[in-house]
Amino acid sequence: MVPLPPVVAAGRGRRVNMDLSRPNLQLSVEGARTGPQRNWGEAGSEEDFKVKNETKRREPPSPSSTMIHSLFLINASGDIFLEKHWKSVVSRSVCDYFFEAQERASEPENVPPVIPTPHHYLISVLRHRIYFVAVIQSEVPPLFVIEFLHRVVDTFQDYFGVCTEAAIKDNVVVVYELLEEMLDNGFPLATESNILKELIKPPTILRTMVNTITGSTNVGEQLPTGQLSVVPWRRTGVKYTNNEAYFDVVEEIDAIIDKSGSTITAEIQGVVDACVKLTGMPDLTLSFMNPRLLDDVSFHPCVRFKRWEAERILSFIPPDGNFRLLSYHVSSQNLVAIPVYVKHNITFREGSSQGRFDMTLGPKQTMGKAVEAVLVSSQLPRGVLNVNLNPSQGTYTFDPVTKLLSWDVGKINPQKLPNLKGSMSLQAGASKPDENPTFNIQFKIQQMAISGLKVNRLDMYGEKYKPFKGIKYMTKAGKFQVRT
């Protein structure tokens, strides 16, 4: 028997989390390294130590070839708040190289995703203001690691609803269990959310309560069988009283509109998200009225590719719960309808410290549907000190520090077009800024897929009951940019 810390053997639930974290998890609250206060002289000595340490550890002569060695989670203020090693322990001082790169980058998203260090490579992704830094030691496709890290974040989000530092700290045991299951010796093992949920039940308020009272746990009572089945993405023995299948067709318009209002590039990126709650092992087919619209598609692994190739029909045994069935692309070769237009007039006069701002939004090509949740944001030139604007509807905010103007318009009324007008005050004496701001526009149009894609029918085979089926269309702005 390995002598364990007594708490681990005795305790359950919350208390285990915190105590277990001491030897293994190293919640580094005490060793917080906040960005600006970092002492680089010290870091240098740490580096020396690390190099020594590493040379000592590199006993196996072969370049030990685990794909992902370790994972560090770093929050916005530069604290390593969680670490996990799948093999021998890598000192956290390796993250100093990451901090260095972070320091060099002007913006958080400008930290290079791959950072070489003398003995390791750091591959990081930034999601929800948390850096997920993977440590690898030898050649591995970088996208492999990046894709995996994103999958980890997706799983956390799936389990905890949000992926924040607080949520991760609150569920530290589940996090560790998940990471342990997702990677074996650095190679991905189970990344499918359906399998993971069978292995480790996601925490819910009710379950947490029941667990604290009865002393039971999150780990599945039965041994999971999902990994063994022929459809590894679906858990077995699913039962629902209400059988329902909902599909959301969501299309995003990516566009760049130039100064004069003509479209420079526009394309449609669409996804079909599904929420399937069906008993047993249903086999679904989904057909479109106009499948030829889809220019480029990528599928959830459950979709039978051959069938799509031959008949343009989506045939699949769905995973249980929410999943993305399909994402597609309607290329710029086809005409993309642009549902809003912007009229703008932004002028700075040479010599005076005032500028004029005037913009109007209007709907076009919306096929009678209302354009809702419109939000315009723009990065104004650095020279702008403040703005004094008057919106005809909605509210606007301007941050004098970041120079970010955002105007929450709401719904566009075609009879009375929303307008934002007023003056900008510039730094006195400064010459007129030569940059032009661009407008990023967000909007939503319900009950319409702008590409004209339509689902024809959904059929179910393999089960006897009659499911409730629903489909929803929506069009949103993706990266919708208007240049001025």
Partner 1 sequence: MGVVCFDVKKLVYVYLVRYAEEQQDLALLSISTFQRGLKDPNQLIRASALRVLSSIRVTIIVPIMMLAIKEAASDMSPYVRKTAAHAIPKLYSLDPEQKDQLIEVIEKLLADKTTLVAGSVVMAFEEVCPERIDLIHKNYRKLCNLLIDVEEWGQVVIINMLTRYARTQFLNPNINESLLEEGNTEGKTFYPSDEEEDEDEDEKEKEEKKAEAMAKRKPYVMDPDHRLLLRNTKPLLQSRNAAVVMAVAQLYFHLAPKAEVGVIAKALVRLLRSHSEVQFVVLQNVATMTIKRRGMFEPYLKSFYIRSTDPTQIKILKLEVLTNLANESNISTILREFQTYIKSMDKDFVAATIQAIGRCATNIGEVRDTCLNGLVQLLSNRDELVVAESVVVIKKLLQMQPEKHSDIIKHMAKLIDNIQVPMARASILWLIGEYCEHVPKIAPDVLRKMAKSFTNEEDIVKLQILNLAAKLYLTNSKQTKLLTQYVLNLAKYDQNYDIRDRARFIRQLIVPTEKSGALSKYAKKLFLALKPAPVLESPFKDRDHFQLGSLSHLLNAKAGGYQELPEWPESAPDPSVRNVEVPEWSKCSAREKRKEKKVDKPFYSDSDGESGPTESADSESNSGSGSDSGSASDVSASASESEESEEGSESDEEEDKDEPKHNKKKLQDMKKPTHNTESEQSSEEEKKPQRKPKTRKMSESESESEESDSESSESESDESDSEPEIRKKKKVDPKASKPVKKEAKKESKKEMSLLDLDDFEPAPSPQVTPVNFMSSSLVTDLEGLSLSDDVLAPATISPSSSMKSFELLHRITGEGLSVEYCFSRQPFSPDANMVSVQLHFTNNSSSDVSALHVEDAKLQSGMRVKEFPEIEALAAGDTTTAVMGIDFCDSTQAANFQLCTNSKKFLVSIQPPVGELMRPVFMTENEFKKEQGQLMGMNEITEKLTLDSHCRNEHAIVQRVTTAANLSRVPCGADHECRFAARTVTGNSLVLVTVAIKQEAAQVTVNCDKMLIGTMLVKEILQALAQ
Quote the tokens at residue 206: 């009710």
- Tell me: does residue 144 bind partner 1 (CB under 8 A): yes
Range 213-232, binding partner 1 (CB under 8 A): 217-221, 223-225, 227-228, 232
- Tell me: does residue 142 bind partner 1 (CB under 8 A): yes
Q: Which one, of 304, 350, 349, lies nearest residue 326 by Cα?
A: 304
- Tell me: does residue 292 bind partner 1 (CB under 8 A): yes
Quote the tokens at residue 451: 């590409």
| Single residue of 1, 206, 213, 401 touching partner 1 by CB under 8 A | 1
- Tell me: does residue 34 bind partner 1 (CB under 8 A): no
Quote the tokens at residue 74: 């770093």
Q: What sign for the dihedral angle of Cα 49, 52, 56, 60?
A: positive
> From residue 459, how far is each of 11, 86, 430, 466 by CA, in Å?
50, 44, 67, 10
| Single residue of 413, 440, 442, 446 touching partner 1 by CB under 8 A | 440
| Single residue of 9, 76, 210, 404 touching partner 1 by CB under 8 A | 9
| Single residue of 94, 126, 272, 314 touching partner 1 by CB under 8 A | 126
Residue with tokens 């059929």: 459
Size of site (CB under 8 A) for partner 1:
122
Q: Which is nearer to partner 1, 99 or 131 (CB)?
A: 131
- Tell me: does residue 428 bind partner 1 (CB under 8 A): no
Range 242-271, binding partner 1 (CB under 8 A): 254, 256, 258, 260, 262-265, 267, 269
Per-position x/- string for 183-212, each x denoting binding to partner 1 as judged by CB under 8 A, each - no binding: -xx-xxx-x---------------------
Range 302-341, binding partner 1 (CB under 8 A): 305, 309-312, 324, 327, 329-330, 332-337
| Single residue of 39, 45, 55, 138 touching partner 1 by CB under 8 A | 138
Per-position x/- string for 154-183, each x denoting binding to partner 1 as judged by CB under 8 A, each - no binding: -------------------x--xx--x---
Q: Segment contacting partner 1 (CB under 8 A): 109-117, 162-170, 235-243, 272-280? A: 109-117
Count other Cβ atoms within 10 Å, centred on residue 351.
9
Q: Which is nearer to partner 1, 266 or 284 (CB)?
A: 266
- Tell me: does residue 455 bind partner 1 (CB under 8 A): no
Q: Longest Cα pair distance anywhere in the chain, in angstroms? A: 82
- Tell me: does residue 299 bind partner 1 (CB under 8 A): yes
Contact 367, 446 (CB under 8 A): no
DSSP H or E segment with residue 473: strand 468-483
- Tell me: does residue 6 bind partner 1 (CB under 8 A): no
| Single residue of 7, 51, 54, 85 touching partner 1 by CB under 8 A | 85
- Tell me: does residue 32 bind partner 1 (CB under 8 A): no
Quote the tokens at residue 378: 């723009």
Round to whole Å and give the CA distance between 265 and 258: 9
Q: Which is nearer to partner 1, 174 or 393 (CB)?
A: 174
| Single residue of 146, 167, 275, 370 touching partner 1 by CB under 8 A | 146
Residue with tokens 């290329």: 331
Cα angle 462, 467, 471; round to 5: 115
| Single residue of 32, 76, 114, 404 touching partner 1 by CB under 8 A | 114
Q: Which is nearer to partner 1, 119 or 463 (CB)?
A: 119
Contact 137, 63 (CB under 8 A): yes
Smallest distance, partner 1 to C-beta of residue 437, A: 8
Per-position x/- string for 378-407, each x denoting binding to partner 1 as judged by CB under 8 A, each - no binding: -x-xx-------------------------
Round to whole Å and give the CA distance between 42 and 44: 5
Round to whole Å and give the CA distance between 433 and 379: 13
Q: Which is nearer to partner 1, 159 or 243 (CB)?
A: 159
Contact 432, 209 (CB under 8 A): no
Count other Cβ atoms within 10 Å, centred on residue 219.
12
Half-sphere exposure of 121 (CA within 13 A, CB side): 17
Per DSSP, what are the bridge partners of residue 259? none
Smallest distance, partner 1 to C-beta of residue 243, A: 26
Q: Where are the beta strands (DSSP E) in 349-403?
A: 354-363, 371-379, 384-391, 395-399
Cα angle 211, 217, 218; round to 5: 110
Q: Which is nearer to partner 1, 108 or 470 (CB)?
A: 108
Helices (H) and strands (E) in the chain, counts: 10, 23
Quote the tokens at residue 317: 């045994």
Q: Which is nearer to partner 1, 437 or 467 (CB)?
A: 437
- Tell me: does residue 2 bind partner 1 (CB under 8 A): yes
Residue 387 φ/ψ, nearest 5 degrees: -130, 155
Smallest distance, partner 1 to C-beta of residue 96, A: 19
Q: Where are the beta strands (DSSP E) in 57-129?
A: 70-74, 80-85, 114-116, 121-127
- Tell me: does residue 420 bind partner 1 (CB under 8 A): no
Smallest distance, partner 1 to C-beta of residue 179, A: 9
